[in-house]
Amino acid sequence: MTVALVNGSGCLDALIAPGVAAQLDAFVTKTITPEPREGNPPVRIAETEAGMLNSIGLQGPGIAVFLSDTLPALAALGLRVWVSVGGFSAPDYAGICERLDGRPDVEVIELNLSCPNVEEAPESSAQIVAACRASTTKPLYAKLSPATSDIGESARAVVAAGADGLTLVNTIRGMALDPLSLKPKLARGFGGYSGPALKPVALACVSACARAVDVPIVGLGGVRSGQDALELVAAGASVVSLGTVLFADPTAPERIRRELRHESTARGYPDPLAARGVANSG
């Protein structure tokens, strides 16, 4: 086995860019909600000096259209599909998981427990995971926010509730101002911050969770090169997710995979996965 590459949810549309998706080991869908959503009003994207803010607001067709139209189209591309699931209550999440259960064209369910652009569910992450665990036998990955005082404790809670893996990290809330008007660039005022500046945050969170629990971890945040990917593996990730880089470089998956092999070999690791967790030892 080696380090798998996937995309960050919402950072790639496989039906529009199937060639990019084909470079990945699995494709992660945009977050699916129970009902169709228009998302937040524009402006919803803003660039910053070291990353990007988005305030899309989980725009999507809802689970019914996803199952009838989107999922069959993804399956026709021959992709391994991970479905990102969102909602505004534990029953929202659990209901979607129940409808995905038993689908051979769904490999993993990723629970988006931390979107900064919508109202949060009243239940805790662990309660949502427990509700989903009772609704499906599919592997469940909990996607956690870095905006917490003890992400290791959050990891222990969701794993105890039934999560099979973790995705670390989701975007962190940020704001950008127009230099002339001094008003927020985004219509909603703030959004989820991603890009290179998120990598140190992701490394700290992956390391903390790898020390706290023994489950697969998807490392996500600021990956632009094979060196970035290897650092996330060294912190404890077993899968690396590509996000903002996909907007600028459609060849990023193949390039980063080559660079990852080169960087690991140069350090004496015959396979990148052999470097997993070395940052946490000693």
Q: State pLDDT tens for residues 155-169.
A: 999 999 999 999 999
Q: 44-58, 75-89, 110-124, 265-279: lowest mean pLDDT where?
A: 110-124
Residue 120 has pLDDT above 90, yes or no: no
For residue 51, what are the contacts with CB-CB under 8 A and spacing of at least 6?
174, 193, 194, 195, 196, 197, 198, 222, 244
**Is residue 49 in some structural domain?**
no
pLDDT by residue (tens digit) across 96-113?
Answer: 999 999 999 999 999 999
**Pairs from 98-103 (Cβ < 8 Å, separation ≥ 24):** 98/135, 98/136, 99/63, 99/67, 100/136, 100/138, 101/135, 101/136, 101/137, 101/138, 103/71
**Is residue 183 in some structural domain?**
no
Q: What pLDDT does residue 80 have?
A: 97
**Is residue 158 in some structural domain?**
yes
Q: What pLDDT does residue 10 have?
A: 95
Secondary structure in 3-state letters for 80-103: CEEEEECCCCHHHHHHHHHHHCCC
pLDDT by residue (tens digit) across 126-142?
Answer: 999 999 999 999 999 99
Q: What are phi and psi of 207, to 5 degrees?
A: -60, -45
Q: Before 169, cis peptide (omega within 30)? A: yes
Query: Hey, what amino acid is at 49?
Result: E
**Is residue 143 in some structural domain?**
yes
Q: What pLDDT does residue 117 have?
A: 65
User: What region does 39 belong to: left with phi over 0, alpha with psi -120 to 50, or beta?
Assistant: left
**Is residue 65 in some structural domain?**
yes
pLDDT by residue (tens digit) across 28-46?
Answer: 999 999 999 999 999 999 9
The fraction of the chain above a pLDDT of 90, given in percent, is: 94
Pick the catalytic residue: 115, 132, 205, 209? 115
Q: What pLDDT does residue 166 have?
A: 98
Name the helix (H) or strand (E) containing 4.
strand 4-7
**Is residue 267 in some structural domain?**
yes
Q: Before 43, cis peptide (omega within 30)? A: yes
Residue 115 has pLDDT above 80, yes or no: no
Average pLDDT for the chain: 96
Q: What is the mean pLDDT of residues 242-263?
A: 97
Residue 118 has pLDDT above 90, yes or no: no
Domain containing residue 243: CATH number: 3.20.20.70
The tally of domains found in the chain comes to 1
Q: What is the mean pLDDT of residues 77-93?
A: 96
Query: Hey, what amino acid is at 79?
Result: L
**Is residue 186 in some structural domain?**
no
Residue 261 has pLDDT above 70, yes or no: yes
Indicate if 115 belongs to the active site. yes
Residue 200 has pLDDT above 80, yes or no: yes
Asked whether 207 and 236 are in contact (CB, 8 A), the reply is: yes
**Is residue 219 in some structural domain?**
yes
Residue 124 CA to residue 88 CA, distance in Å, equals 11
pTM above 0.75, yes or no: yes
Domain range for 156 is 4-39+58-174+194-280
Residue 38 CA to residue 119 CA, distance in Å, equals 15
Residue 143 has pLDDT above 70, yes or no: yes
The fraction of the chain above a pLDDT of 70, given in percent, is: 99
